[in-house]
A and B are shown apart, each in its own frame.
Chain A
C-alpha cells in the first residue's frame, strides 16, 4: 500500500516536471535555452493564485479556468520579455534566463507573502475544484486532478506537432539552422517568439499545478524554483522529446521523492543528513544520461544545433 501510494504520488509530482519540461522543450526547439523556466513557473503559480483571489465568488469550474488562463498569460508575458531580450535585442540567453529566474522568484515571493499574511478570502478555497473529478482525499488518487490530464495532453500534442506537422518541421529547422530556415522563407523571429511564449505559458501551468493541486499549501511557492531546475534537467534526460518526457517526469518524480519515501518503505531511519544525498538522484541520473548520449554520438539525440546562439541575418 505504501509502495502504491509512493508511485501514485510520484506520478502526481511528476506532472510539475512534465509541464516545465514540455515548455522548455518547445523553447529549446526554437534554439533558445530558457534558464528562466524556474522563475516562469513561480510566476505562473503566483498569477494563478492572484486570479483566484480576485474571482472569489465565481463558481468553482469558472475559477479553475480563469486561474489557468491567468497562469498562461503570466507565463506568456515572461516568455515575451525573455524573447524580446534574446530574439530582438540578441542578449546572451544564459544571462537573460538566469535574470528571469531571479526576477520571477522575487516577484512571486512578494505576491505570495502578501496573500499568506492576509488569510481572509484566500486563494486556497479553489483547491477542491482543482482536484476534481477525483477530489476524495482518502484514495491515493487524491492529486489526480484536471491539470494532470492537461499536462499529459499538452505533452502528447507537442510531440505530435513537433514530429508530424509542417509547423513542427519549421520550428525544428529554426532551432537547428535559423539561416536555412530564413533562406526558405520561414519567419524565424515569429517562430522564436511563438515557441518561447507558448513554452513559457506551458511551464507556468506547472507552477500553478504545484501550488493548487499537488501541494495545496500556502508555503508551496517556496519550492517551485528547485522543481523548475529539475524540469530543465529533465529536458536533457528526455533527449528533447515530449513523448519521452511523460515517462521521464514520472521517473524524476520517483527519484525526487526517494529521499523521503524509500527509507520509510524499507523501515530504516537515515537521519536528517542522508536525505539530501538521496535528493541528488535526479541530477545524477541526468548526468549519466548526458554521458551516455554523448558517447552514443547519434545526431538525433543531440540538442538543437543552434541552441543558445543568437541569429543575425545580415552577417556575412
Chain B
C-alpha cells in the first residue's frame, strides 16, 4: 500500500474527507515552498499538490497562470523544485503530489524524472495534458518508481470511460467539476452532486472533486458527495495576500468539528 492509499484508508477509518490544497512552486520564491507545505500540513491538509510552472498552461485560469508567470520570473524550474523538495524531505508527513504539464517532464527526461521525484519523496503526479490514450509515454516508468499517476475525469467524460479510467489507478480519481479551466466560481451547474455520486459509484478508487472550489461552503457541499476536494486558485490567492487565517479556515473546513 502506498502513502496515498494509506492516507485515504486512515481518513475513511476516521470518517473524514480529504482536503487537498494546491500551491505553485516558486510563487513567492522557492525559499518559501517548504514553509508553505508545513503551514498547510499544520492546518490539516490531507495531501498537498505542488504545481510546476509552465509557459503555456492550457488547463489553468488567470490566478494559476499568473502564479506560474511569477514563478518563472523567479527562474524556478522543475529541476529546482525537485532539488528543494529532496533537501527538505522528511519535514512533512502528508503525501505530496506534483501537478505538472507534460513538456517540462519530457525536457527533464521521463526516466530520470520518475526516479528523481521518488527520491525527493513525491508520492504522485497529475499531468493535465496527458489523457489515458497517451500515458504510455510515462505511466510504466512512474509505476516502476512507485509514484502514483493521478488521472482525471470531467463532466464531459461518459460513464464507461470514467469506469475505464478509474481502473487504471491506485490513488484517487480527480473529478473536474466545471466545464472549463481552473479558477474560482460563484456557483456550480445544477446536477453536480448527482454527477459526483455517479463517479463515486463507477470508481474503484477514492474520488476527489476539484476546479472552481472557492469557499468553505462549496468545499463541504462537494465533499458530501465524494471523498474530498482539491482547492487551487483560492489557496494561491490567499497566499499572495498572506491571509494565513483565511487559509486555515478553508483547509480545516472539512474537519469533523466544522462539518456539523
Q: Do A and B come from one complex?
A: no
